[in-house]
Amino acid sequence: MSGPLAFATVTAVLKDLLNDGLVNSDLSAILGTVKVSALPPDRIATGADEPSQLNVFLYQVTANPGWRNADLPSRSSGGDQRLSNPPLAVDLHYLLTAYGAQDLDAEVLLGYAMQLMHETPVLTRQAIRRTFSANSPVSDRLMPASVIDRNPADLADQIEQCKLTPRYLTTDELSKLWAAMQARYRPTMAYTVSVVLLQRTTPTRAALPVREAKLHVVPVARPVIEQVDPAFGPVGTAVRLRGQSLRGGITKVRVGSQQVAPAAQAVSGDSVQLTIPASLRAGLAAVQVVHEVQLGEPPTARPGVGVESNVAAFVVTPIVTSPSPHTLAADRTLSIAVSPPIARDQRVVVLPGDSALLVLARPDDDPPTSGTITVTIPPGWPPGTHLLRVQVDGAMSPLVVDSDAGSPTFNQYVGPTVTIP
């Protein structure tokens, strides 16, 4: 959009256009010195010795029909704050008048000027900038330096270019114009420049002052988990995640529904060490590295703000914690203590030896989790001592358990057993 100096800018560009055209046509060899002005006609000296001169005069400003439906500027209810900046769209109407002391001088000037205007249907952005450039030979004569310093050439950057079209006035219209100007009539042609868009460039509402600048940069490199070592084990297992770009500003690991904050020394760019939290359920757990970004005052982690890695898998295996060997009750009921506790909605299978027994779902009024599994051994089950395992949501208890320490060893094939009479 243009600023309030746009009217003067258009007039200056028209003067520059006429001046260049006269110089290029070498009219000075025919008419002598020719002057280009932008004065009201009543201020131009006329008579027997009037100089050869072309005058461009802005005599009327009208609303542009294509932009006239744009909204008017609006203000707040108190009137102290501007709410919108719609443009003021107008067309500029000029009179081009030729003066000369000798016969035919005015006709020659008007003919050259009209041909030049006809061949310039648009005031191009390049022409506007050239008029007010530092190396323009006429810019200092077109407009005072104090005005040029305020950048009137912003007209070159408005959305629509200014179109230059002739307007053929009737004798009656010309008579009224010259009578209103109280000047002596000279050969005249009218032109219209459309459209000039005046609009403020300042914001409609002043921004609140910045009390303290806080810039948070979210890392671009996304962490990648390539390996989980080991990939299975009971709760409390020490696990190392290997991959790329694992260290962030605030590095945490999401394991299932739990979030673990590893120690600073346990995190590097290619590995993260953590301990599987005891609150997890047995079964498959998703593992993700999360780089958090804290915002606000005081700084607080916000959901969805940060970078997450790909999802890896860790299998939390159940551990039979009741003493071995296990014995059956008189009604052939086998009770087994397991860790971690089993949720009511988990699928549990007890495997005495090579056979499997599905544990029935517990009633809804039972506690949500239980550390004890109860299953009935049906009659006809092969007697003897059998290796005892538990499967929870597909996660199998390990074959080898050190009964004294209560932790997996994986170095010998021993484990909990059950004796069936």
pLDDT digit string, tens, across residues 75-113: 777 777 777 777 889 999 999 999 998 889 899 999 999
Instruction: Name the one residue in this structure whose structure tokens are 């390996």.
Output: 227
**What pLDDT was estimated at residue 399?**
63
Task: Give bridge partners of residue 90 from the DSSP assignment.
Answer: 63, 196
Q: Answer whether 415's CB lies under 8 Å from 387's CB.
A: yes
Two tokens at 307? 């970078």
Name the residue among 295, 298, 276, 294 with its Cα closest to residue 285: 276
**Cα–Cα distance, 317 to 349 (Å, whole number):** 13
Tell the residue number behind the tokens 């599905």, with chain if given.
358
Query: What is the pLDDT, as a whole number, of residue 140?
Result: 47
With contact defined as beta carbons under 8 Å apart, do 340 and 235 qualify? yes
Considering the four listed CATH numbers 3.10.450, 2.60.40, 3.40.50, 2.40.50, the one that applies to the domain covering 224-315 is: 2.60.40
Phi, psi of 63 (to 5 degrees): -70, 140
pLDDT at 202: 67
* Residue spans of the chain under pLDDT 70: 1, 72-73, 134-153, 201-207, 216-220, 303-304, 399-415
Q: How many other CB atoms are there within 10 angstroms of residue 61's CB atom?
A: 11
Q: Are 232 and 36 in contact (CB under 8 A)?
A: no
Delimit the CATH 2.60.40 region(s) of the chain: 224-315, 319-420
The residue type of 100 is: G
> For residue 403, what pLDDT is reported?
44
- Cα dihedral across residues 336, 339, 341, 344: positive or negative: negative
Pairing of strands 417-420, 326-327: parallel
Provide the token pair at 3. Answer: 């600023």
Q: Which two tokens stand for residue 318?
A: 């159940």
Q: Compute the distance between CA of residue 267 and CA of residue 35 in angstroms, rounded to an integer.
A: 82
* pLDDT value for 406: 47
Residue 68 has, within 13 A of its CA and on its CB side, a CA count of 8
pLDDT for 110 equals 94
Q: Give the pairing type, strands 188-198 and 88-99.
A: antiparallel
The pLDDT of residue 204:
63
Topology annotation, domain 319-420: Immunoglobulin-like (2.60.40)
